[in-house]
Amino acid sequence: MIKVLIVDDQAMVREGFGALLSAQPDIVVVGGAADGEEAVAAARRHDPDVVLMDIRMPRLDGLSATRQMLDTPPGTHRPRVLMLTTFDLDEYVFEALRAGASGFLLKDAPSADLVHAIRVIAAGEALLAPSVTRRLIEDYATRRPARIRPAVLNTLTPRETDVLRLIARGQSNQEIAEQLVLAEQTVKTHVSRILTKLDLRDRAQAVVFAYESGLVTPGE
């Protein structure tokens, strides 16, 4: 069973999501929270697999709550955080991805998309909604000064660098495999090595890193 914590300052939203998710055979809602402070406490109490996190909330916003939840010693269980937002170009979403969130979803997305997103994130994948996330990151990157490419990129092989570029463009493992003429399992191995070498938590952080390091430039 996938344990889910729902965080939103609107009770009707929490109840609606709760009813939808509780009807799924493989998901159990372990709790809810109305702000970031309640969310951090609830996450420690219930140890959820996935946290649905609203961004704009009183007392402690979703970004700060995400940082606190994921700031744990290596080896300890960390929930996967799925950010919920009303705005598809919300700057907070980019910061949440930097903080370690595994992806985001618009609040008006179809209910089937929400259920799918939870399953994807619980399985350890990142939900990047490629077209929206890439546009968000590109928009943010164009407003930041250019950075010097970090030396850690030199630890990647040429093939791993190619894979990272394609990850940043929102391509799935299957799409990367087809473009580079590789087995999908080989791509998965490359992705795992990239995350290890760059000390990144997941695919979402790899996308952010690729743009922030200058490996991929906006509009490319």
- Do 100 and 68 contact (CB within 8 A), yes or no? no
Asked, for residue 109, whether it belongs to a domain, the answer is: yes
The pLDDT of residue 34 is above 90: yes
Q: What is the pLDDT of residue 87?
A: 66
Instruction: Look over the chain and give the mean of its residue pLDDT values, rounded to a whole number.
Output: 84
Q: What is the pLDDT of residue 72?
A: 74
88 or 196: which leads in pLDDT: 196
Asked, for residue 218, whether it belongs to a domain, the answer is: no
Q: Say if residue 122 is in the same domain as residue 173.
A: no
126 or 206: which leads in pLDDT: 206
Q: Say if residue 31 is in the same domain as residue 105.
A: yes
Tell me which of 29-38, 179-188, 201-210 is least confident: 201-210
Asked, for residue 107, whether it belongs to a domain, the answer is: yes
pLDDT, one tens digit per residue, over 135-174 is 666 666 666 655 667 888 999 999 999 999 998 887 888 8
**pTM for the predicted model, two decimal places:** 0.72
Q: Say if residue 102 is in the same domain as residue 200.
A: no
What average pLDDT does range 172-182 have in this prediction?
91
Q: How confident is the model at residue 121 (pLDDT cuts 50, 70, 90)?
A: confident
Q: Say if residue 19 is in the same domain as residue 59.
A: yes
Which residues fall within 8 angstroms of residue 39, CB to CB, at 6 or more apart? 5, 7, 33, 51, 53, 60, 62, 65, 69
In total, how many domains does the chain have? 2
Q: What is the pLDDT of residue 199?
A: 85
| Integer Cα distance of 204 and 212 in angstroms | 13
| Integer Cα distance of 48 and 26 in angstroms | 14
- Do 103 and 117 contact (CB within 8 A), yes or no? yes
